[in-house]
Chain A
């Protein structure tokens, strides 16, 4: 595959509200979760949480419409698309929450005002992100909304890449969005996978921390000669071992890594760095580490970005791609804050200080509920 170029990016996450400042905050190793309290339950929930540092209330129903458009606008502006190109721009959306936060607020206030007519799930929100972005950006193109848990935006990006390859589209907007909502926060608490500290691949890892993030990428068939980042391919598969985690023997992770490498005709020794998924759950990291070691006898530097922005679930691929790609352009591989004690059972040790990022191939891992595994590949091109 010829691949597609990253022409423009926009990002809003715990690190900041524009992509460039997020990347430099990551270079400074800024880690800023806040303490989140959910008091409505029998036993109040509390956990560290990576929120977008806008000034509004976390569950303010207007945030969804307010925070989405600026991110996409930033990506489109940086890409320098013509009005005609924007008009026809297709969108590939990945999210695991969509507008469920908005749906929750409406249902909650209906229960207070008119309990006998209150309807649960008043919004069927799969299309809401696309609708808001189309309206605010003035796009009329096709839309594809992916909902495959934590690989949602990875699969959306893979589809965009392939349709560009086919010549169906010259430019695409790929967006991931995950905003605070009670379903996700309480749901993951019920799964008992939320930790107090995020320690990916660490012997003391206890689980994940969630975060908010909206990311948008303009992915294009062509670019100017100054552009040095290309998405060159990827692979996706489904492991039916367990609905909540990839097979902990690492076999299904190894399989999707090998598929991605084979498809790009790249040898493991040619890979210069890996952005791991690294949820920091005991089983998730085990599956990923054992899979990585099956494929890479000598592992290139591994980075985990969730300590910077939390696990942004369905949006994590696009958000972390923007951060990782930004780091590559600035010439560094991101460090992994929170990793301290190697786990001999895993044998994967993420880098703890930034390292130089040479030209060449990089892999980005994403694994989700439903056995969904997706690996994407980036190339940093020599000037």
Chain B
């Protein structure tokens, strides 16, 4: 069932690519139906597999002479992320409902690229054969590029090119690492589970691990390789920024866990020396993750473009994911996976509020300009949504982000106490920048009287559409549901984390 998420998305993209120009307005309906079907398949697969470990999805010989198979399977982590992708796809299309209203805006092409991207993302989360995983990973790069380069805004060519080149550079590093692993293990199979059984020499893992981890972490927005993220997010059209922050950055984090850490757990072992207290790649990357958390939050605090605030907040939140993974504790990795899901939902909601609900009506993202518009009164719906999303993003109890970040910090407390404290500091700054943006955009004390003492009229904007309301309900509801009842996802995540290689969970040594 889960495999249909991939097939449906690519088939939908193909149909939309040859969609007749005359049916421009119907393209979005078709895309929505495809995305809903994908979500249904993801949900069905999630429910059907509940309580089970890794479920096989498909296995067909592809290039048998080379040991390459079309092998799909899903453990709890994959199923949660597939579900996230389905939700992000539906919400993204609902928030793009204004594309297709004008004749000649090529809605079909937009949604074709959108669905192709979604298909690639589903594929990465389900692939077990590393060749296949790499194929889907690369496939996802191109639609991203076009969504930004064609439909984007601020400096879109620059943003699109930067994103594509960073992605290609990352995947080149991954490619080298994968080929090295394949060659070292005797060139028989590209199957992840089979390769993970192979005892790679520690000296080999010591260089392969950082290479592959960094390659994937570039896409996860790890500091200092994060610079593509804010520019890409800002340049992208709303639906694309939702996908970028919501699922594409998760691809990177997923690759770090599923490929780099699973294949080369001993790459995380301590070195024979220590420099300024740094004694392993694990500490190096954890340090970078913590810097990302604090740096992203601090930079978000001083942005004047509303979308840049959210863009940098993504860098900060993804830092929690990476930190959680590197704790090498069950609770920390649980938290990291849950954070991937949670941030995917919340970032989607934030980008939609800023890019679609507010920007499409006010045509500005400048916080000082917005502060004069009395948006709290003019657009109470937007204000409410942002408050909810902001609270979720700050990590307030009751929302999904809280459960996730608490677990990450709990894990970090065991592994790196100092980093846990600093990450906690990052949460405080997170509250500050969310508060500041909320205050300035929606609740500023704009003068209600003008110089002559007459009341300043509250600007009128077009009403919030049904599609927007539905999408907000979907995302905010999910975040709240998971926040109140995280067991829904943790029941799938925890056993999958427990099943990770023993050497990984113990950091290569007993604790």
Same assembly: no
